Structure 1
Amino acid sequence: MSTPQDINVRRKPAVAATGGATSTVLATKQLTKNFGGLTAVDGVDFSVEEGEIRCLIGPNGAGKSTLLELITGQLSPSEGDIYFDGTDLTEMDTHDRIDTGISVKFQSPHVYENLSVEENLRVPLQRTDRDTGRVLAETLDRTALAAKREEPASDLSHGEKQRLEIGMAVTLDPTLMLLDEPVAGMSVDETADIASLIRSLHDDGMTFLVVEHDMDFVRRISDRVTVLNQGEIFREGPIEEIEADEDVRRIYLGENA
């Protein structure tokens, strides 16, 4: 059993890295994940600043999904630490991380097909004491789903299901939203809709970490881009610098340096 002294020892680095005296909301320290002889994430020091939209890109097998799963608690790290908003998440259960202010939207829509749009939005609200009527109205309007509030989620298009799941995450009023390839399989118009939704939420103060392959989408939304390659951070910077980097184009965009 952990003693108060043990807990304080665990808290102090988290507070120093992501507490009120810093603008950093999420930080990993020497985060590593081994699968047998394969190191999928290799000593990653990574941080996201409050109020930014950070995009995480890289070639297939770079470790992007593994890093996201470590942050969300779906995987346990082999080594290293994960800090969020002054709290050490490293050994925290997945569902408890949501209560710290993190919401997650995975690549494939995870909506309740047999429930209506409004009923889907009510599900996460059961975890909160927020004003249900007000939050529902705001979220339906923001996701452009008000006209379909009574329709079963099974009748929605792929893009509408993605917007609904983002809306479900938004109802929790998170400090940080994690999005895993939110526009995968979408049309150009649907992609533009999601970009507008993310920018609108960002304008209201929400912080985002977005894993994405679609570079057009990344250009639309990103403040700063992190490139992961072979489990390590390869480059970080504004999208203009990342796209101009010959080594990034070689490993990610498939161009000759």
Structure 2
Amino acid sequence: MSNASDPTIMSTPAVDRTGPDTDILLATEGLTKHFGGLTAVDSVDLSVKEGELRCLIGPNGAGKSTLLDLITGQLESSEGSIYFDGMDLTDLDTHERIDAGLSVKFQSPHVYEDLSVTENLQIPLQRTDRDVNETINRTLDRIGLSARRDVQAAELSHGQQQRLEIGMATTLDPELLLLDEPVAGMSVEETNEVAELIQSLNDDGMALVVIEHDMEFVDEISQQVTVLNQGEIFRQGTIEEIQDDPDVRRIYLGEEA
């Protein structure tokens, strides 16, 4: 996104909130999702800046994964808007949001186990004119799987499969990557490897939103933290501010305020 003003760009809510005159890459406004009588996401206003690494935390049932599904287009919103890089994504299909520069890696690995690591990485590149070999080599190096490029994905460890799927999500160099509990079920060593990968992606300029329960992991990677509770934004701030907030500890950890 360019920060230079372009007089040919018409003013719209999407441009005003996430266009070239702002440093905001993603913004939701009044984003709401009802499931019958249940409100899973309730009027959420969330902003993510260019190059920001934001963690999204909260107790089970807080609406974190539902919010991610709304942003990626897996779910249709009941109310509200989603703006990204000057575009209104609210009514776009998932593939159109990916074409706009947004990518996602869900909690459970969605790799093709009967294909090799390299073949898995080729899949997102099928609709592009990128140099496939160069992109795959760069991605393999980035995710630390160069030595296993010809191995079937089924033979990878859980942590390696998670890194492979992050690689699949980043082959197109998205401006924003959404990760849903990327270290769930991992060993300490695997968690550290994913933390290094996430920080490396962010150092390269990629913005990330990471949903996570592991507070040690959040402490290691986060720049800003958003706390969801009962579908609403409860608190936002640095990890230090969030950890020191007695109300956050009460709703997230069950501690007495």
Give me the TM-score of the superposition, normalised by structure 1.
0.95
Secondary structure at 1:108's aligned position in 2? coil
- Shift in Å at residue 137 of structure 1? 0.9
Whether 1:34 aligns to 2:34 is yes
Matched, 1:57 2:57: yes
Indicate the residue corresponding to 1:154 in structure 2.
Answer: 154
Aligned to 2:246: 246
Q: Which residue number corresponds to residue 93 of structure 2?
A: 93
TM-superposition CA deviations, 1:173-200 (whole Å, max 9, x none) = 1000000000000000000000000101
Partner of 1:197: 197
Q: Which whole-Å CA distance do the structure 2 matches of 1:72 and 1:58 have between them? A: 20
C-alpha distance in 2 between matches for 1:63 and 1:228:
7
Structure-2 separation of matches of 1:201 and 1:36: 39
Q: Which whole-Å CA distance do the structure 2 matches of 1:214 and 1:88 have between them? A: 32
Q: Which amino acid aligns with 1:197?
A: L
Deviations, residues 20-79 of structure 1 (Å, cap 9, x unaligned): 110000000011111111111111111101111000000011110111000010111111
Residue in structure 2 matched with residue 113 of structure 1 by the alignment: 113
What does residue range 79-228 of structure 1 map to in structure 2 within 5 Å? 79-228=79-228
Q: Report the Cα offset of residue 127 of structure 1.
A: 2.2
Q: Distance in 1 between matches of 2:101 and 2:113?
A: 26
* SS of residue matched to 1:98: helix
CA-atom RMSD, angstroms?
1.1
Give the structure 2 partner of residue 76 of structure 1: 76
Counterpart amino acid of residue 18 in structure 1: T
Aligned-pair CA distance for 1:204: 0.6
SS, match of residue 47 in structure 1: strand
- What are the Cα deviations for residues 108-136 of structure 1, in whole angstroms up to 9, with x where unaligned? 00001110000100110112221111111
Secondary structure of 2:255's counterpart equals coil
Amino acid at match of 1:148: R
Q: CA deviation at 1:253?
A: 1.6
Letter in 2 for 1:50: E
Q: CA deviation at 1:254?
A: 1.8
User: For structure 2, which runs of at least 5 residues remain unmatched after alignment?
Assistant: 1-8
- The runs of at least 4 consecutive aligned structure 1 residues that moved more than 4 Å come to none
Question: Which TM-score applies when normalising by structure 2?
Answer: 0.95
Provide the identity percentage.
70
CA distance, structure 1, for counterparts of residue 46 and residue 143 of structure 2: 30
Deviation track 1:209-256 (CA, whole Å, cap 9, x = no partner) reads 111101011011111000000111000000000000000000002211
**Secondary structure of 1:252 counterpart:** helix
Name the count of aligned residue pairs. 249
Distance 1:114 1:40 in 2: 36
